Structure 1
Amino acid sequence: MKIIKIIMWRINFIIAKISGSLKRLGWMQVFKIILNKPIVKPVAFSLIMQDKETSIGLYKSDFFPDLWIPLQKNPGLDVDQYLFKYDLYHNTYIGDLISRGDTVIDCGGYIGLFTLWCLKKGAKRVIVFEPEKRNYECLRRNLSSYIDSGKVLLIGKGVWSTGGSMGLRLTESGVGHSLLSGVEAIDSTPIEVVEIDTVIQDLVPNERIGFIKMDVEGAEREALIGAKGAIARDKPKMFICSYHLPDDPQVITNIVMETQPDYRVDYTGFASNDRGFIQEQGVVFT
């Protein structure tokens, strides 16, 4: 059965490329993915020091500045996932969507790499949501100078359609933690969730939101409901991940367009699952 799934995945992947669904990927990248080869150069990290109390470590590499990352055997695996998404961000012209002076909302901050990129692009301020405690501590240390200056507002809570408490299902590494049931997890921990609109009103009521990025493991649709005020008022450009649930592309599009019908919508990137189906990595709203 597993071999059949792998074969079907590869067949569907090639069909998706031929049909034009993967137009941002070259054939060389497609073949690398089919053969389970990395399409980005792996990042080699060496551990400089570790904080056993918080289960995080300071890692050195030739690619990044020294970074605090949740302790694991190979943190490069998680960061490689980010680099792959980072490449998708560029291929989906997100670099052109973030403008100098923007107030950005980063939902699913991980260890701060996307936030650092936004600041490099000239963002005025980034509001970062990250509920998992190890990632939060890494963010706090990696972005300390920006937090002190007020350019980064770090929120140790999840994003949802209402405020309250929920269980966060934890994975073994630093990524993939989810509020959804049915997700493979090694543990669960209670976290506080908030509406984005409430946080904006409390922290930056007079600032226009220029860009929103969401990668929150299936909570995107609920988080968008909690951001309807900002979406209707400011019409921020947005990149919303849409590969966590099978109907994400359509459901996410419907929520946004019902809130602000003046958007242009593009579907971009790719994602796949163990059944071999291909769907859009994200929805871009401009």
Structure 2
Amino acid sequence: MQQRRFKNDDYNTLLKYPRFKEISVEFLNKTIKAPDAASLLFLNHELFGLEIYKFTSKDKKPIIIDCGANIGLSIIYFKKLYPDAKVIAFEPDKKIFDYLQFNINSFDLKDVTLINKGLWNEETTLKFFSEGADGGRIAQSDDANIVEIKTLKLSDFIKKQKVDFLKIDIEGAETEVLIECEKYLDNVEKIFIEYHSFIDKPQTLSTILSILENSGFRYYIEHIGVKSKHPFESIKNYVGFDNQLNIFGYRV
């Protein structure tokens, strides 16, 4: 399956390629660029292998909002699923945004709006940890590789229109963003949230689930990413997170 999306030689190169080094490969017969081979393989597996964003819509031109678009594989997937979809995508990291623009242009995708800003509970400027792949997030006090990003409010993009699919994968900012836009979530048909639990900070999973329930969603949850084999003995962490969950919100 993976080799069918990449050329065989490119796929084998990706498996051996060093981390955080730019690579250009053929993907679905188009040239794409990525800053990190391991992240590219992981995204390909999740999006085109497992198809975690697969959804059905009665509208042939669904409105999709992609919060945390990274290098654009999610957008490419959405446009393969619904070629006439209208996509609004946010990616705050300027370096990653450059890859996003290149890849969307390579596929010559139409009705895609790319916004080089993050999402938060207000329009402001924040310090951002640029991991160099798919793990960038709001900076913590002990982080290196800090850049500044500008932010917008998600409510401004969902309060006046029906949204068929809302994807929120913003590396720990999801709770603040959902609280800010909660009263407009009635306009959203389906929602995907990647929940991140920060080490030594209060966990906010209950807040997110309460927001979903109050907005009329049922939800399905699966564990991904950081996993501790014996959590009573030790908790593993990665870039400041000690737990990650995929949350799928849907209406019945």
TM tier, smaller: 0.7 to 0.9
CA–CA separation in structure 2 for the residues paired with 1:251 and 1:127: 26
Q: CA RMSD in A?
A: 3.1
Relative to the length of structure 1, the TM-score reads 0.66
Within-5 A mapping of 1:103-252? 103-122=63-82, 124-144=85-105, 149=110, 151-171=111-131, 173-181=132-140, 185-200=143-158, 205=160, 207-232=161-186, 234-245=187-198, 247-252=203-208
Within-5 A mapping of 1:261-280? 262-273=216-227, 275-276=234-235
Unaligned runs of 5+ in 2: 1-9, 15-19, 229-233, 237-241
Residue 68 (1) aligns with residue 33 (2): yes
Residue 43 (1) aligns with residue 11 (2): yes
CA–CA separation in structure 1 for the residues paired with 2:31 and 2:118: 26
Give the letter for the 1:265 counterpart.
Y
Paired residue secondary structure (1:242)? strand
* Structure with the higher helix share, 1 or 2: 1
Relative to the length of structure 2, the TM-score reads 0.74
Paired residue secondary structure (2:147)? strand
Label 1:152 to 1:113 Cα distance change in 2 as closer, same or farther (>3 A): same
Label 1:174 to 1:271 Cα distance change in 2 as closer, same or farther (>3 A): closer
Label 1:199 to 1:56 Cα distance change in 2 as closer, same or farther (>3 A): farther
Percent pairwise identity: 19
CA–CA separation in structure 1 for the residues paired with 2:120 and 2:190: 19
Residue 78 (1) aligns with residue 78 (2): no
Paired residue secondary structure (1:281)? strand
Label 1:249 to 1:130 Cα distance change in 2 as closer, same or farther (>3 A): same
CA–CA separation in structure 2 for the residues paired with 1:56 and 1:159: 27
Paired residue secondary structure (2:69)? coil
Whichever of the two has the greater Rg, that structure is: 1
Residue 59 (1) aligns with residue 19 (2): no
CA–CA separation in structure 2 for the residues paired with 1:273 and 1:82: 18
* Structure with the higher strand share, 1 or 2: 2
CA–CA separation in structure 1 for the residues paired with 2:225 and 2:23: 31
Unaligned runs of 5+ in 1: 1-41, 47-54
Aligned residues of 2:33 and 2:102 also touching (Cα < 8 A) = yes
Deviations 1:54-111 (A, max 9, x none): x9956124666311223xxxx3211122134326853x5x313466321111111111
Aligned residues of 2:32 and 2:106 also touching (Cα < 8 A) = no
Q: Which has the higher contact order (CA 8 A, sep 6+)?
A: 1
Label 1:166 to 1:279 Cα distance change in 2 as closer, same or farther (>3 A): closer
CA–CA separation in structure 2 for the residues paired with 1:117 and 1:248: 29
CA–CA separation in structure 2 for the residues paired with 1:56 and 1:140: 18
CA–CA separation in structure 2 for the residues paired with 1:83 and 1:58: 15
CA displacement at 1:255 relative to structure 2: 2.5
